[in-house]
Amino acid sequence: MGVPNKRAKRELNRQKAAEAVARAQSGADNAGEIQLPQKKYYRQRAHANPFSDHRLEYPLSPAHMDWSTHYPAFLNPDPTQTTLEGSRKLLKDVEVVDIGCGFGGLLIGLAPLLPETLMVGMEIRTQVTEYVTTRIHALRMQQQKLKSSANDTSSPVPPLPTSTEAPEAASSVSQDTTTTPSEEPAPTGPVTGGFQNITAIRSNTMKFFPNFLGRHQLSKIFICFPDPHFKARKHKARIISETLNAEYAYSLRPGGLLYTITDVQEYHHWILRHFREPEAGEEVMEVDGDDEQLVGGAGSIKELFERVSEEDLQQDPCVQVMKEATEEGKKVTRNKGNKYVAVFRRKADPEWP
Amino acid sequence: MAGFFQIPFQTITFVDRDHAVAPSLLISSAGAKLYSYAAETGERLASWPQDVAVDSSKAIGTEASSEGQGPPGKRRKVSEPSDQAAEGPTESQKVTWSNIPIVLASSNGQYVIALTAEDKCIRVFQLSPEGTFQQLSQRTMPKKPGSIILADNERSIVAADKFGDVYSLPLIASSEPYVPTQRPRAKNTEGPAATNLTVHTKRNLEALEQQKLYKNQNKQEPQKTALSFEHQLLLGHVSLLTDVAFVALPVDASSGQKRTYLLSADRDEHIRVSRGPPQTHIIENYCFGHTAFVSKLCIPHWAPEFLVSGGGDNFLLLWKWAEGRLLQKIPLVESDATIVVRGIWAATFGNSPEVSRVILVAIEGSSQLRCFGLESDGTMKSQAPVQLSGNVLDVAISEKDSTITVAVDSIREPQSTQEWRASPSSILLEAFHAKPNASCLEWEPAAETVVAKINTTGTSDIPATADQKQKKELNDMFYSLGNLRKSAGEYLFRARKLSESRKVALIQFILDAAKIPDGVLAVGNVFGPNSILEIVGGESGTTGTTPLVFNT
C-alpha cells in the first residue's frame, strides 16, 4: 500500500507549499523564510492527450479573459476599465507565450530580461501548472521581502504588496542572478521586475489558444522541447504542424518571433518541414505515408513565416535562455545531448489573391 | 400491429433543373439507399444502389448479424483504398454502409454528391435527364466527414472531417491516375527517431533496443496507404469539425471584386473564419459566442455578410462574420432546456417587392420547424413555426415554387428521439407552400398529390422483428448530434480490441478519473457501434447513469 500513501503525502506537501505562499502574501507570516515549492511533489506523467476534453477552463474569448489576478502589479488603476466578464483590465496586454511551459524555467529566466513585457506559460498538466504558479508566487514574495528589507534600512516606507510598486525600481542586477536562476535555489539578490510579469495557466493550446490571445497580440511564442511523440501514429498530437502554425500566425504580430528548440533531430526536421523550410544539409528525412500532410495549394505557410538567420540568433538573448534556463535544456546538457534551434519570423499577411 | 415501419428519409434535396431539358427532382436518402423522385409528380424515378436486396434489415442490422467482427464504421483502416475512377455498373457493389447522412446537388442539377457513412466514401453521381444515378467516382476519405460542401464555383468538393481536417477535392476526378507529389526522399532513415541521446530511462532504452532490432529484421515495413486521389489539405482544427461554409464577399460596395472565405465550426465552440483557397492558412478571425458545440452554419445567399449559427446552445447567434461581430442572440426555447440545432436553412419566397426572407431552424427531436424573418438591418424576428406530424429530419426548399418539403420521422414519437410510435405512420414527407402575409409567412399544405405518391411508394421496411438493439441503432443513426455535447461525466474513449482484463482495468481507470467511489456502481457493457458502458452510481450515492461512449 505504498502508492496511496505516497500520493497522499505529495498532496499534503503541495497544499503546504501553497498555504505557505498564501500566508506570506497575506503578511501573516512575515518572519520565516519563503520556501519555494519542491518539484518532487508535483511530478506528473510527461504526456497528456491533447485530443481529450479534460476539464479545462478557458475564457469565451480573449476579451473575456481575466488577467488581473495573474499580474496584480500591472492592474489598470481605473476600476471602470473592465473586460467583458467584468474583471479589471491590465495596463498592457500579454505579449509572450511559452507553450508547454513545463516547470517554468524559461519564464523565470526571461522575466528579468523583459521586465516590462507580460509573459504567460501554458501547460496542460494540472500539477505542473500548480507548481509553476506556486513557484512564481514564492519568487515574487521573496523579491518583495528583499526589497522591503532594503527599503527599511533607507526609509520607513510600508511594504506594499502590489499595484503601487514600480517594477523597474529594483536595484541593478548582477549578471549571474539573472541568467542562471537554477531550479531549486532562488536568486539571492533582487531581480528586475520582481517576477511580476510572468504567470502560468493550465490550457490545451492545441484547442484553445485563440480563446486566450487575440489576433496579432503576441510578439514572441516559445515552444521548448515539445513532447516528441515518437510513434508515427502519434504525430498528429505534435504541437507543431502546418495547421497549428496557421493559428500561431494568427496570434503573432508581423515581425513577431516563434522560437523552437528540441533535442530530437527528427522533430527538428519535422518543424522545418512544417514551416516549409529547406531542411539542413543532406539529411532529408523520410516522409512515410499519410502520417503527415502539408497544407496544399500554391500558397502555403511559407507566406507567413521566414526562418531567422543564425547571425540574428547570436544577438538574441532569448535564445540563450531557451537553451540554458529550461528544465529540459538543463537535462539535455547533463546528458550531453544535442539542441536544435529554429526561430521563425512572422511576415506580414500577403495580399489577397 | 398494422403494417410495417418505413425507414424515414434522412436527407432531402430539391434539384432545380431547366424544365425544357429535364424535370426537377427530389433526391433523398433513406437507409442505405438514394432515391430520386420527379418533383412534379412524385413518381420514383430511380434508386441507388440498384440491385441490392431490398431487405433493409441487411443494410441496417449488419453489425448485429453478419460477420460478427464489429461495426463497419469503426474499422480503423480501409484496407484497400478504392479507386478514384468510375467503377462501372454498381450492381456488383456490396453495400457496406447502413446510411447516407450527407447528400447535396450541384446548382446546375447535373451532379449529386453523397457520403456513405461507414466506408467514409464520397461518391459523385451524374444525374441523367431521366433522374437516374450514374456513379462517376468514389473517394474514401481518411476520416468520416461531418460536412461536405461545394466551393470554388462548384469545381471542388470541400469536406471537413471528425479529425479536424478540411480537404478539398476536385468535383470531377481527373481521368489520369493520381501521382502524389512526393518531396524528394534523399535518405531513407530507417530506424526509430529516438536515440540514446533523447531517451534515458531504463525502460525507454530497452524499448529503443527492441525497435532497432525489429527494424533490422523487418526491412519491408507495410507501406502506409496515402490517399489515392487528388486532394489538398486546406486547414485543420484540433477538434471535431461539424460544419463548413464557403462564401464570397464583395471587397467594397462599388467594385465587383470578391474575396472568398472558408468558415469552419467545431465541437469546441469555435467558428473560424479563414481566407478561401489558396490562402486557407491565413485566419482572419474567430466568432466567439457559443458555449456548447456548434453544429450548423448558415450564410443566407441573399445577404452573405450574415451568418446564423447554432449547436448545443439553446439559442442561435447572428453574426457579421467578417468582423467576428455578434449581432444578436436569438433564444430558441424559453426554459433553459438543453436542445441541439439540427439544421438551419435560409430561403427567400415571393417576388419583389413582397419578398420574405426567412431562416428555418430544425431542432433535434422536435416536430416544429422554427421560422425567423431576417431583416436587411441584421435583426431576426421569430415567426409562426410550421407544425409537422413527426420530428423534422431535413428540409428541401424550392424558392421558385415557394414550397418546402420536409422529411419527417415516421417511426419515433413526435418530440422524442428514442420512443418509437405504437403504430407506424405512413407520412415520410410533408410539403408546405409559403404565403407572404403582412409581416410574416403563412404556411399551407402544398403538393398533396406529389407527397402522397412518395409516401405511398415508401422506402424500405424495417423488419417487424426489430429488437431493442436495432431500434437503438436506428435512433443513433438519425439523432447523433447530441453526442457532441461535453458533459461533466462524459468520457470518450477510443480503444482497440481489449481483453477482458484490460477492459476491467480501463473501467477502473475511468472510475478513478471520475472520482466515483467503487462499491456503489454497477457496470454493464454492451458492444456494438457506440457501445454504451453504463456506470450507475455517483458521488452522493444517488443513482444516475453516466453513459460512456466506448468504441472498440
For an interface test with B, give the residue of A7, A45, A47, A53 to mutate (most B CBs within 10 A).
Answer: A53
Minimal CA separation from A329 to chain B, in Å:
12
For residue range B357-403, list pLDDT tens digits in order. 899 999 999 999 999 998 888 899 999 899 999 999 999 999 888 89
Instruction: Render A10-21 in DSSP notation, one character per residue.
Output: HHHHHHHHHHHH
Across the interface, do A297 and B277 touch by the CB < 8 Å criterion?
yes
What is the dotted CATH code of the domain comprising A2-35+64-281+294-346?
A: 3.40.50.150
Across the interface, do B282 and A206 touch by the CB < 8 Å criterion?
no
For residue range B218-228, list pLDDT tens digits in order. 555 444 557 78
- The set of cell numbers assigned to A213 is 490571445
**Chain A residues with CB-CB distance to B222 below 8 A:** none
Within a domain: B380: no
User: Cα(B174)–Cα(B231) distance, rounded to whole angstroms?
Assistant: 11
User: Cα(B260)–Cα(B168) distance, rounded to whole angstroms?
Assistant: 15
User: Cα(B190)–Cα(B170) distance, rounded to whole angstroms?
Assistant: 35
CA-nearest of A92, A42, A71, A298 to A194 is A71
Residue type, A97: V
By Cβ distance, the residue of A207, A284, A350 closest to B187 is A284
Per-residue pLDDT of chain A (353 residues; tens, 9 = 90+): 455 677 788 888 888 888 888 777 776 555 567 778 888 888 877 778 888 877 788 999 999 999 999 999 999 999 999 999 889 999 999 999 999 999 999 999 999 999 999 999 999 998 899 999 999 999 999 898 888 877 665 544 444 444 333 344 333 333 333 333 444 556 677 888 899 999 999 999 999 999 999 999 999 999 999 999 888 888 889 999 999 999 999 999 999 999 999 999 999 999 999 998 876 543 444 444 444 555 554 458 889 999 999 999 999 999 999 999 898 899 999 988 999 999 999 999 999 88
Q: Tell me what pLDDT residue B210 has.
A: 79
The answer to whether residue A12 neighbours chain B at the CB level (below 8 Å) is no
User: Any known ligand binding at A197?
Assistant: no
The answer to whether residue A287 neighbours chain B at the CB level (below 8 Å) is yes
In this predicted structure, the answer to whether residue B542 has a pLDDT above a threshold of 60 is no
Within a domain: B398: no
User: Any known ligand binding at A136?
Assistant: no
Within a domain: B530: yes
Within a domain: B524: yes
- The set of cell numbers assigned to B525 is 457493457
Summarize the confidence of residues B234-247 as an average pLDDT. Answer: 95
The answer to whether residue A53 neighbours chain B at the CB level (below 8 Å) is yes
Summarize the confidence of residues B260-282 as an average pLDDT. Answer: 94
Within a domain: B521: yes
Within a domain: B418: no
User: Is A98 an active-site residue?
Assistant: no
By Cβ distance, the residue of A243, A286, A298 closest to B189 is A286
**Chain A residues with CB-CB distance to B226 below 8 A:** 289-290
Chain A, chain B: beta-carbon pairs less than 8 Å apart: 146
The answer to whether residue A208 neighbours chain B at the CB level (below 8 Å) is yes
Across the interface, do B278 and A298 touch by the CB < 8 Å criterion?
yes
For an interface test with A, give the residue of B197, B230, B238, B490 to mutate (most A CBs within 10 A).
Answer: B238
**Chain A residues with CB-CB distance to B182 below 8 A:** 287
For an interface test with A, give the residue of B269, B273, B279 to mutate (most A CBs within 10 A).
Answer: B279
Across the interface, do B186 and A283 touch by the CB < 8 Å criterion?
yes
Summarize the confidence of residues B249-266 as an average pLDDT. Answer: 90
**Chain A residues with CB-CB distance to B163 below 8 A:** 236
User: Cα(B184)–Cα(B480) distance, rounded to whole angstroms?
Assistant: 43
| Long-range Cβ contacts of B301-307 (<8 Å, 24+ apart) | B301/B346, B302/B346, B302/B348, B302/B357, B303/B357, B303/B374, B303/B376, B304/B247, B304/B248, B304/B249, B305/B249, B306/B374, B306/B378, B307/B245, B307/B263, B307/B271
Domain count, chain B: 1
Within a domain: B106: no
User: Cα(A325)–Cα(A107) distance, rounded to whole angstroms?
Assistant: 9
Q: Which residues 322-351 of chain A have a CB within 8 Å of chain B?
A: 335-338, 349-350
Summarize the confidence of residues B21-45 as an average pLDDT. Answer: 90
**Chain B residues with CB-CB distance to A61 below 8 A:** 286, 288-289
Q: Tell me what pLDDT residue B347 has.
A: 92
User: Any known ligand binding at A85?
Assistant: no
Scored b (16 or more CB within 10 A) or e, A198-234 reads bbbbbbbbbbbbbbbbbbbbbbbbbbbbbbbbbeeee
B261 - beta bridge partners?
B247, B275
Query: How many C-beta neighbours within 10 Å does residue B92 have?
Result: 9
Q: Tell me what pLDDT residue B548 has.
A: 44
- Residue B533 domain boundaries: 489-551
Residue type, B313: D
In this predicted structure, the answer to whether residue B89 has a pLDDT above a threshold of 50 is no
Q: Tell me what pLDDT residue B239 has.
A: 93
For residue range B303-330, list pLDDT tens digits in order. 999 999 999 999 999 999 999 999 999 9
Within a domain: B127: no
**Chain B residues with CB-CB distance to A236 below 8 A:** 163
User: Any known ligand binding at A2?
Assistant: no
pTM as predicted: 0.81
